[in-house]
Structure 1
């Protein structure tokens, strides 16, 4: 009975017309030991604000910037409180920013706000008790695409006087990294075409200096083909000598892989455990390849 009820909740989560399933998950995920700072500005725009979740004892803690999905057309940071609470409970300062969406921005300018949020986090981590040398960017779906681009395409953090080497690592959940030609009409609008240039794809930005990566996918992802996207990116990272951990999960889909981060639904899949292990003990990168 628990599995059935949980499956229903997860099926609704992130795809429901009503926000009530997300509200329930967020309410059940709240942790009294975690302090939440609401609407901290990382830039001047209306959507350029982030919620910051602080563990009970930050003490030079690792920091995770989480970028949610939504096909670059939807999403609100407060719907992902379950992520902030779950990761902060594990001892990680967690920053969840909003960012401008289509049609206000499209490819490639939709990457500007996530880059600003990550740069702000790196520069302000110590103020919140975090370790600026251990900042990770994590994303789900479209957010995983953004995380990959910030970690591998130098121009985005470069606009803030940083390089991808400023990241200790990055984490992608069910990310689209290699998806040309674009099949979905809504995504074609964001990218201006079904055939945007090859450099729109994260797989084209792999280099020996890319930060270590944790790539997690649902084996039966109905929206983002796991092998074509996660598998191909992992293969290219390994060929470049970049440390990468790659994991495929059964019994979850494109949406429930994200829901499994929340404390009430962690029994669905060990996503939170895998993320916590990677952040606490990231694989070592070859210093000779770091920029």
Structure 2
């Protein structure tokens, strides 16, 4: 009995020491740089509105190295919204970049897609300055932001302008992104938001087998905006038909269009799994 109590006491002491060590461990400090321009102010024909809107914020842990990088695009129907780091991405040991882009009706399609591409190109160029790894860049966003990341990840021409292969992206994570031609683009053409169009400005038009890993997240099909779940389900189906094995679709039951917060744990787990799979593949490739 005495021996049992001694063992129990030692075990308790070790646990307590571990807890104390965690409490006394230095807390990671996070820094933020705000309103960085992702276009060169010296480029020809740059406009005051472009200078005003085309900025981004970077949130990053001090002294980080080899970190995943998450580029976040806000929603707002391509007509509104502003950059902000989602709370679910803060202090997760990521480099997080929140992007503003130009909006309709001040600009027309495809300007906002071009801005999104320029911001991602900036990220590839500068990620390492903040402890990020350019091979671990994930692009994500909600609603209009989800539409933008699908366009960049599926249609290669937008990033090709910057000599970047879209397949260099580590992953694409749209939250309730529009898979058909965006409703604001249709509105610019005088088409109703309830009239579906699938053309070169629809992510669905660009389905292919060899994409980066894709995580599609939507709200409940009965609560979502304008059939957004169904669009994403069809997108995933067409990806599979084209031989793509890298897409996953989650429908968040009980949630409507505003489902970013409950969807964040899915994003975090997806990034963790994707990077683990990538590391495993690299290890297997080095085996004799």
Q: What's the TM-score once normalised by structure 1's chain length?
A: 0.75
Contact 2:71-2:96 at 8 Å conserved across structures: yes
Q: Which position in structure 1 is the counterpart of 2:119?
A: 117
Instruction: List structure 1 segments (4+ residues) > 3 angstroms apart after TM superposition.
Output: 190-197, 283-287
Mapped to 2, the partners of 1:89 and 1:127 lie a distance apart of: 18
Hey, what does 2:255 align to over in structure 1?
252
Instruction: From 236, 239, 247, give the equivalent of 2:238.
Output: 236
The equivalent of 2:174 in structure 1 is: 172
Change beyond 3 A, Cα 1:71–1:167: same
What is the RMSD computed on CA atoms of the aligned residues? 2.4
Which residues in structure 2 correspond to 1:152-231 (within 5 Å)? 152-178=154-180, 182=183, 188-190=186-188, 193-194=191-192, 198-219=199-220, 220-231=222-233
CA contact (8 A) 1:71 1:187 kept: no
For 1:59 and 1:102, the matched residues in 2 are separated by 38
Quick one: distance in 1 between partners of 2:73 and 2:215? 15
Q: Is the 8 A contact 1:38 1:50 kept in 2?
A: yes
Structure 1 match to 2:264: 272
Q: Which residue of 2 aligns with 1:4?
A: none
If you compute each CA radius of gyration, which structure gives the higher value, 1 or 2?
2
1:1-80 aligned within 5 A: 33-43=29-39, 44=41, 45-56=51-62, 58-77=64-83, 80=84
d(CA) in 1 for partners of 2:103 and 2:38?
A: 16
| Larger relative contact order (CA 8 Å, sep ≥ 6) | 1
SS at match of 2:53: coil
Deviation at 1:188, TM superposition (A): 3.1
8 A Cα contact 1:178 1:228, kept in partner:
no
- For residue 200 of structure 1, give the secondary structure of its aligned residue in structure 2: coil
Contact kept in structure 2, 1:175 and 1:224, CA below 8 Å: no
Give the corresponding residue for 1:18: none
1:49 shift after superposition: 0.8
Query: Is there any run of 5+ residues in structure 2 with no aligned partner, and where?
Result: 1-26, 42-50, 283-288
Work out which of the residue numbers 87, 90, 112 in structure 1 matches 2:89. Answer: 87
SS of equivalent residue, structure 2 residue 71:
strand
Q: Deviation at 1:253?
A: 1.1
Distance in 2 (CA, whole Å) between partners of 1:51 and 1:203 is 30
Shift of 1:58: 2.4
Closer, same or farther in 2 for the Cα pair 1:162/1:64, shift >3 Å? same
Deviates more, 1:122-131 or 1:56-65: 56-65
